[in-house]
Amino acid sequence: MSLKDKVVLITGAAGNLGRAVAAAFAAEGATLVLMDVSEAGLRAAYPEQDQRMLLLAADLMQAASAQQAVKAALDKFQRIDCLCNVAGGFKMGPAVHETPAELWKLMMDLNAGTVLNMTQAVVPGMIAAGSGKIVNIGAGGGLKGGARMAAYSASKSAVMRLTESMAAELREQGINVNCVLPSVIDTPANRADMPKADPRKWVAPADLANVILWLCSDAARAVHGAAIPVNGLS
């Protein structure tokens, strides 16, 4: 599954899943463009760098910031072969009838808006090249609403619908678009928030990263518009 000649852009690269995805692609020889909102966070996550790695700080909830960061990546590497939209987040909320506009907007902007902004910045280059791979991060919680999770569930459902629409639009142009639907990911934050749960049943970031890696490989060239559950033992 060598990706030695591929340029892979990973958003949310300083987070737990972003670091695991970067490690998986690095192990296969890919050139990495690593984006996150904080330059300090990126440098802390990747203290050792080389010519096959570019760190870019950007607020991907802002279209102009996403466009600027992608331009910097293209200026250095000339193309982007794979886009992994890992950036996102989760917040519980109150009941639907009490949900503040600020929470709704945050979840939509953070989960669906970042996908939209990055897609608009990256896809024209993929169309020109006649090839590309895009993997979005949905969630099991996007399949069904839950109490006090309306904003998050709706935003992840939006990611799934964006994935399906993009796949229908781009498959004839050599671009695969798919998403993964993890359950609970085993991160320090989730362990702290759910101390009574059994993290052995959760999804290890490295395991989820391997699914993303496969979707960006030639082995998945016939897969378009899929939403792949990655549930661990939960």
Q: List the catalytic residues.
A: 152
Please tell me the distance from the alpha carbon of residue 216 to that of residue 218, in angstroms, as a whole number: 7
Angle at Cα 27 formed by Cα 182 and Cα 2, nearest 5°?
95
Closest listed residue to residue 175, CA positions, set 215, 144, 138, 210: 215
Q: Which residues contact 29 (CB under 8 A, 6 or more apart)?
A: 2, 3, 4
Residue with tokens 């990055």: 118
- Helix spans in the chain (H): 16-27, 39-45, 63-77, 101-107, 114-129, 150-170, 188-193, 205-215
What distance in Å separates the CA atoms of residue 234 and residue 198, rounded to the nearest whole number?
9
Q: Could you tell me how far CA 155 lies from the centroid of its own chain?
A: 14
